[in-house]
A and B are shown apart, each in its own frame.
Chain A
Amino acid sequence: MNIQPTHSSRRILLPVRQWFILFSLAVAFFLNLIPVGSAVGLPDWVALVLAFWSVREPLRLGMGTAFVVGLMMDVASGSVMGQHPLAYLLLSYAAGGLSRRILWFPLVQQALHILPLLLATQLVMVVTRVVGGADFPGWSYFLGSFSGALFWFPLTFVLLLPQYQPVEKDENRPI
């Protein structure tokens, strides 16, 4: 029986380190900065990593972090100030609120939970900009959410890697 709700493996995870959360956000930010030109369907890495930590550690990752990261994204991408913070805040809040529910599911179904969250994030950005007078970027813009949901599976393993502890066979240990 699978008692531990956090993961399908029975391993007990080590506690997460705060610096690793910030480090992973910085790496995601760097990935977002890589100019890909007209390539569509690449996920918003920052949104994905924010959603991941909001689901995993809702008490460690505050909305202040989401706000600051969003502001940095605004400047880096040259978009309107406040567009990314607003979307990331709502994402972080929703993912944090749903975390108890999401973590009960296996990874594939977790990804299905994340997909509407990412789509809503993009929708918030589209509404903000279109109200502000910008052009609708086309439906292919939303492909990024689908690829992001596909990345949920590998991302979980990569980001939880520092928390795994070596498997030791100890017959006397109760758990």
Chain B
Amino acid sequence: MSVVGHQPPPFFKRGPAPLARLAFFVILSLVLLVLDLKYRYLELARQGVATVLYPLQRAAYTPVDLYEQLGGYFSSLAAVQRENVELRRKELESAKWMLRQQHLELENQRLRQLLDMKARQPVTSTLADILHAARDPFSRRVIVDKGSQHGIVAGQAVVDEAGVLGQVTRVYPLQSEVTLVTDKNQAVPVQVVRNGLRTVLFGASDGQLELRFLAANADIQPGDQLVTSGLDGVYLAGLPVAKVLRVDRDAAYTFARIVCEPAAGVEKHGQVLILGLREALQRQVEETEARDRPVKPKRSRRRDG
């Protein structure tokens, strides 16, 4: 307030000093970072904003769509015919396996009934198209065109025709985000086909996979097939995941460095199957324990990507 009782003219008012504003907003974004990274509290807000942005995102996809259509138009007839011949050959080749599979499945069912075992869960699946890779360069994720409106929930496994592709980690109403197996924070419990060795497969950089924490003398060799072990309750057992590329055994380190190559076309775009959620593996409850206290339903254990 000045001496003569006049307010300063309004064009000198600029609010708080820039540094104060900067400090305020920086603290706000740091709080957001911690809330999201550590506690994952912001999923609801993210869903809301994502829903509003969805039309814009679809619109932004049109240039790419047009480009692809143009490319498809100019792809020659010969290439398509060649592909057709190849597909026919493959179909014939796989036909004998398919026929045999039906027979085997029936036999398996009969045997299981005979043994009075719990039948394997029937697998439900949803076909989805990979729209594009997520823009975030720090993780390996793709966006598929099925979301919570189509019954997708976070945690479902995603496979393509060759093997495991990844896991649904975030679901929007009409899209969902799939973290690929090559992401650094994505782990898949696997089993070596040759000897049944169980371990966990992690993503590594440049689109490869890595078996960490296996002893330097572990029985594993280049060319070994890795399939899901099914112990996690997420992936069905026996889905191919990767092939061991090379094994570096260095006496200086406790663990061998084992680099694997994904079986699925992880970096390619196309159609994928989103498998239905498995029921969580129920832990065996001891009968005495069960009598003592009421059994609470176990929640399904899920890993976040």
Contacts and interface: CB of A to CB of B under 8 A. Distances in A.
A64 B53 contact: no
Nearest to B182: A135
A132 B35 CA distance: 12
A79 B42 CA distance: 12
Interface stretch (A13-21, A67-75, A153-161, A167-175): A67-75
A134 B131 CA distance: 23
- B interface: dominant SS: helix
Contact of A80 (B37, B132, B177, B205): B37
B299 interface: no
Contacts of A32: 135
A35 B30 contact: no
Interface in A41-65: 59, 62-64
Contacts of A78: 134-136, 139, 141, 143, 170, 177
A166 interface: no
Interface string B123-144: 0000000011111111101010
Contacts of A62: 21
Contacts of A71: 32, 49
A22 interface: no
A63 B37 contact: no
B213 interface: no
Contact of A85 (B32, B132, B136, B138): B32
Interface in A78-109: 78-83, 85-86, 89-90, 93, 96-97
A72 B28 CA distance: 15
A134 to B, nearest CB: 4
Given A63-B22, A81-B46, A128-B33, A135 B61 contact: no
Interface string B240-254: 000000000000000
A136 B137 CA distance: 9
B75 to A, nearest CB: 18
A82 B29 contact: yes
Closest 7 CB pairs of A and B: A35-B132, A82-B32, A33-B60, A82-B33, A77-B135, A81-B36, A134-B138
Interface of A: 29-30, 32-38, 59, 62-64, 66-67, 70-72, 75-83, 85-86, 89-90, 93, 96-97, 126, 128-130, 132-138, 141
23 contacts: A30-B59, A35-B61, A35-B135, A36-B64, A37-B133, A64-B25, A70-B29, A76-B53, A78-B135, A81-B33, A81-B35, A81-B42, A82-B31, A82-B33, A83-B33, A86-B26, A89-B29, A128-B33, A133-B184, A134-B138, A135-B183, A136-B205, A137-B138
